Amino acid sequence: MAELYFAILRRDLLAAWRRPGDTAMPLLFFVLVATLFPLAMSPTREALAGIGAPALWVAVLLGTLLSLSALYRADLEDGTLEQLLLRDEPLVIVVLAKSTAHWLVAGAPLALLAPLWSAAYYLPPGASLTLLLTLLLGTPTLCLIGAVGASLTAGLRQAPGLLGLLVLPLMLPVLMFGARAVDAAAAGHETTGLVYVLAALFFLSLSLAPLAAAAALRISLD
């Protein structure tokens, strides 16, 4: 099973490397959204610092959501996904490998880019570090939740719109706790409890989301 996991992971990473446009799209979307908030708001330090955490988290969530519709697209078009369904290995391994590749290509770059943008919102260094930590916990959770929605909408023509409607309510707790942790750090308050909640959400998603996504994928392709 480990051999299949790393084979799929390597294949997806190579495919992303050969399609730099698809890889750059979430990053460009994040930059666009994160830049528009300061332009639309009052340029005062207090106003920008007040919306910094939610604005950056919303930009990351939307950037992650934008790339989810392509999670199974290439494998559906060339018939690879049907072949993977016929293998003896559990389909959970396939979902885990593809979710890991999706996070490495889309989630991790967004998590590393967002703290660099925090200076535009006058967030203190402590809040920027908390933003990085919460995103490193939150973005894999978003990818795992998104994999369930992508599995349910695999093969549908209107998949992107339906995908957003399905997974956004499930992603909101990650957004809320992540943004509140950054706000608490900016105000000098304790953030340990909020970080623990994000860690719990990650491990809960890691335990349940691949199973749900594998079952949904079989239903969608039957």
Q: Domain segments of the chain: what residues?
A: 2-221
Could you count the other beta carbons within 10 Å of the beta carbon of residue 196? 13
CA dist., res. 45 & res. 112, Å (int): 23
pLDDT digits (tens, 9 = 90+) for 63-88: 888 888 778 877 776 767 777 777 76
Q: Provide the whole-model pTM.
A: 0.91
pLDDT of residue 155: 67
- Tell me the pLDDT of the chain averaged across its residues: 86
* Cβ within 8 Å of residue 127, ≥6 positions away: 52, 53, 118, 182, 183, 185, 186
Yes or no: say if 192 and 212 are a contact pair by the CB < 8 Å rule: no
Q: How confident is the model at residue 205 (pLDDT cuts 50, 70, 90)?
A: very high
Is residue 7 over pLDDT 70?
yes
Give pLDDT tens digits for 14-66: 888 888 777 788 889 898 988 888 887 777 788 788 888 899 999 999 988 88
- Using CA atoms, how far residue 102 sits from 107, 188, 206, in Å, is 7, 34, 14
Of all residues in the chain, what percent carry a pLDDT higher than 70?
Answer: 94
| pLDDT recorded at residue 38 | 80
Closest by CA to 67, choosing from 113, 25, 32, is 25
